[in-house]
Structure 1
Amino acid sequence: MMLVVNMFEAKTTLSKLVEAIESGKESEVIIARHGTPVARLAPITRQPVAKRIGVAKGEFVVPDDIDADNENIAALFQESIS
């Protein structure tokens, strides 16, 4: 059964609620306003980094000065917005 807390309790005990989520004691906390669920506090699940297949490895060389024109390019984008 998930934990349901009202808005005032959530505000005053936020640190404890987050700790309960982090520790795994609670899988999620539902926050209610006047008894109506309005929000969910849940852990952030980290996605594993996928293995890169490297299909273009060795096909091109990145020049050392690749970032040399970043400011000029950014300025061009800013001009197009204005």
Structure 2
Amino acid sequence: MNAIPPLLDHLVLATPDLGTTVADFTRRTGVTPVPGGAHPGPGTRNHPIGLGGRSHLEIIGPDPEQPGPAGPRTFGADRPAPPS
């Protein structure tokens, strides 16, 4: 049984601290996400991780090199994470 549906494009993990989340993901999985692209306007940047085939996980968060957006960031990436 294939655990990833064949039509899945990507999953998103939004975070208010991209660097910390990427480092934590790397520590927990042993997989280092590669820097992806910046998103001018929303003020975000991403780090994608391939999941096989055309599917990927996108870790997205505020880009400190861009000004903040006029409204909330995509996927609520500027909200603090709930306590764990």
Range of TM-score over shorter length: under 0.3
Question: Between Structure 1 and Structure 2, which shows a larger proportion of helix residues?
Answer: 1
Pick the structure with greater CA Rg: 1
Q: Does 1 or 2 have the higher relative contact order (CA < 8 Å, sep 6+)?
A: 2
TM-score computed with the length of structure 1 as normaliser = 0.24
Question: Between Structure 1 and Structure 2, which shows a larger proportion of strand residues?
Answer: 2
TM-score computed with the length of structure 2 as normaliser = 0.24
